Amino acid sequence: MSTLIEDPTVSTSLNFTPSAIWPEWFRAEQEAAWQEYLATPAPTRKNEPWRFANIKAIDLSSFGSAPAIASEGKLINASAGLGEAAARFIFGNNTLVHSEASGLPEGVIVQPLDVAARENEALFRQYFMSQPVELGSHKYAQLHKAMLTGGMLVYVPKNVEVAHPIEIFHWVEGKNASVFPHTLIVLGDNAKATVVDYFQSADHAPAFACGINDFHLARGSKLTYAAVQDWSLETLAFHINSTIVERDATSTALVANFGGRHVRGESLSKLAGTGSNSVMLSLNLADGDREIDQRTFQDHAAQHATSDLLYQNVLDDNARTIFAGIIRVQPGEAHTDAYQKVRNLLLSNEAEAISMPGLEILNDDVRCSHGATSSGIDEEELFYMEARGIPRKTASRLIVAGKFISLLERIEDESLRKNLAAIVHKRLGID
């Protein structure tokens, strides 16, 4: 069945057709998600999760289904990541076009989601989109589920460590094409893995991306994750993440936003077990008239849990960033350590950074702090560098790079850290 979207609040040229790649039970879930998408009102700025957001930017009317990739070989060659990876997968317009997985230990499962839904149905049903979307984009999460055709499952069983990172590339190609990337990561007890998602455009055309990540960390496991977003500067993008961290497990997640005209990011980290730990990092480089809108939720649902959020925004020209974050300590969950810090570096008088950190403490015996700072580049720093023969423009870029590199020091994996630093330098035009 093919149904043209007739949403009275948000129109689009996308067509809903349940794909034969999915088992029948999931096609039924997609139909239900489609109906829920249609029935859910579009957001307005009167909704608290959309406060200060540019609602007019969320216009899906021009976007349609992505065509078949026309330059498959070019995209494969352009998918340059780390020097050594345990596995590498490349998607073009929702279709897997390349895979290699020679470096995976025994028992590790890395496979396309449609294959996982058939061959590992119990695992898929238990973890796929199991956490409700709580930060405002429930409507678009349902659209994602209805339209999903691509994506990867990464499952690392108990006591297994994947020595090298797993890399997943998501490309969009073609004017007004729509993509729906999805990465589902499940770590067993004491498992360890590093996963990197790259989100890239094959051209400069406008596109629509609506992606979701689900992370589930069992007792004592450790996940390092990085999302490197470099969509075209005409792309509208949603990136929705949920991370569930069980007893003594540690999640370190970095989101790097370099592209996109309007990017909406939502990240929920639930500390579900005693001794759990979540590190949430983000570096955002915004220029032109771009907008990066990020909403976060550090949900402490266990005792002796720790969360630490650090977001670094650098804005130039007429760019705009929005940050709204909540730390919630649930009743009875004592001995919590939670931190939330947003740093805005303004390179232009016309740039605007809106920061709304917040606390919801429902228990005593906790240590929580939050804050936000906004400032320009220190003139004394610039003077010092200029006095040593460094041109002012170059000095500014070096200072910006220093802010980002300082944040990247929180990433333990050396190869990933160096690769991200190289991307930062390239994006800033630093040799």
The tens-digit pLDDT sequence of the chain (431 residues) is: 333 343 433 445 688 888 899 999 999 999 999 999 999 999 998 999 999 999 999 999 999 999 999 889 999 999 988 888 999 999 999 999 999 998 899 999 999 999 999 999 999 999 999 999 999 999 999 999 999 999 999 999 999 999 999 999 999 999 999 999 999 999 999 999 999 999 999 999 999 999 999 999 999 999 999 999 999 999 999 999 999 999 999 999 999 999 999 999 999 999 999 999 999 999 999 999 999 999 999 999 999 999 999 999 999 999 999 999 999 998 877 788 999 999 999 999 999 999 998 888 777 777 888 888 999 988 888 888 888 888 888 888 899 999 999 999 999 999 999 999 999 999 888 87
Spans of all domains in the chain = 64-379, 380-431
Q: What is the pLDDT of residue 7?
A: 43
Question: CA 306, CA 339: separation in Å to the nearest integer?
Answer: 8
Structure tokens belonging to residue 274: 């005693």
173 by Cβ neighbours in 10 Å (0-12 / 13-18 / 19+) ranks as buried
Q: What is the pLDDT of residue 12?
A: 57
Handedness of CA 273, 145, 213, 267 (dihedral sign): negative
Amino acid at 201: S
Residue 32 is classified by DSSP as H
Question: CA 257, CA 237: separation in Å to the nearest integer?
Answer: 11
- Strands ordered across the beta sheet of 192-201: 95-100, 87-92, 166-172, 192-201, 222-230, 250-257, 277-286, 306-315, 336-346, 366-375
Produce one character per residue of 115-150: b if its CB has 16 or more CB atoms within 10 Å, e if not. ebbeebeebbeebbbebebbbbbbbbbbbbbbbbbb
Q: Enumerate residues 6+ apart whose C-beta is below 8 A from 271.
A: 245, 277, 278, 298, 299, 300, 301, 302, 305, 306, 307
Question: CA 5, CA 238: separation in Å to the nearest integer?
Answer: 19
Q: Enumerate residues 6+ apart whose C-beta is below 8 A from 239.
A: 199, 209, 211, 212, 213, 227, 229, 255, 263, 264, 265, 266
**How many residues are listed for the chain in this entry?**
431
Beta-ladder partners of 403: none
Q: Enumerate residues 6+ apart whose C-beta is below 8 A from 154.
A: 108, 109, 110, 166, 183, 184, 185, 186, 193, 195
Structure tokens belonging to residue 83: 């020097």
Q: What is the pTM of this model?
A: 0.94
Contact 212/182 with Cβ under 8 angstroms? yes
